[in-house]
Structure 1
Amino acid sequence: MLVFISLIIVSIVLYIYNKVMITRSGNPITQKYYDSIAKLFLGIFITSFGVSQYLFYETRLSLFMGILFLILGIMQINHGWRASRHYKNEYMKHAET
């Protein structure tokens, strides 16, 4: 249980950090990269929150909500991971020219 709580806290802190870094960056490609990393951490937060709530309450309603959060979190992680790889490659191409 302590693992999920620490994972929730770390992921929300890293999500906020990356959202702040978007405003500090002037390059649009770098902003998109930070946004995709922020989506990755948001997905980790949603997934770990859903699992944590099910393990804490262990009711049928928390099971359904946990499954919903798990699905949404995995979709967000997948989208963030793919976008971060894409924008990292775009940044490397842009830096070479």
Structure 2
Amino acid sequence: MVIFPIIIVLSIVMYVYYKVAIMKSKEPLTQAYFNAKSRICLGTFILFFGINQYIFYQSPFSLFVGIAFAIIGGVHLNRGLKEVKHYRKEWRRLNES
């Protein structure tokens, strides 16, 4: 399964990208939006890392760790998606042309 390591690496790279973009931005709304996007990337990283660990090792302990990581990653992913949706609507509302 080559796809999981690719997704893991891409998500951690995007996480770092958004964290750097937060530091470059001065507007609080943009910073919150980028923070929500970075939360999605972090959740994706944790979720797929947990799945990859179980597939790679296939032991009872790795199943427990994989399930824990999948739950934590899913929570981060879900919250990030909700925040992105909220901040996107808020940005559009404030910047109507």
1:4-58 C-alpha deviation (Å, 9 max, x unpaired)? 0000000000000000000111110000000000000100000000000000100
The Cα RMSD (Å) is 0.9
Question: How many Å separate the matches in 2 of 1:2 and 1:29?
Answer: 37
1:58-92 C-alpha deviation (Å, 9 max, x unpaired)? 00000000000000000000000000000011111
Q: Please report how far the alpha carbon of residue 93 of structure 1 lies from its aligned counterpart in structure 2 after TM superposition.
A: 1.1
Runs of 4+ in 1 over 2 A off after TM superposition: none
**2:7 corresponds to which residue?**
7
When normalised by structure 1's length, the TM-score is 0.97
| Unaligned residue ranges in structure 1 (runs of 5+) | none
Could you tell me the percent identity over the aligned residues? 41
**2:20 corresponds to which residue?**
20
When normalised by structure 2's length, the TM-score is 0.97
How many residues end up aligned between the 2 structures? 97
**1:82 corresponds to which residue?**
82
| Unaligned residue ranges in structure 2 (runs of 5+) | none
Equivalent positions of 1:1-97 (< 5 A) are: 1-96=1-96
Question: How many Å separate the matches in 2 of 1:5 and 1:67?
Answer: 18
State the SS of the aligned residue for 2:95. helix
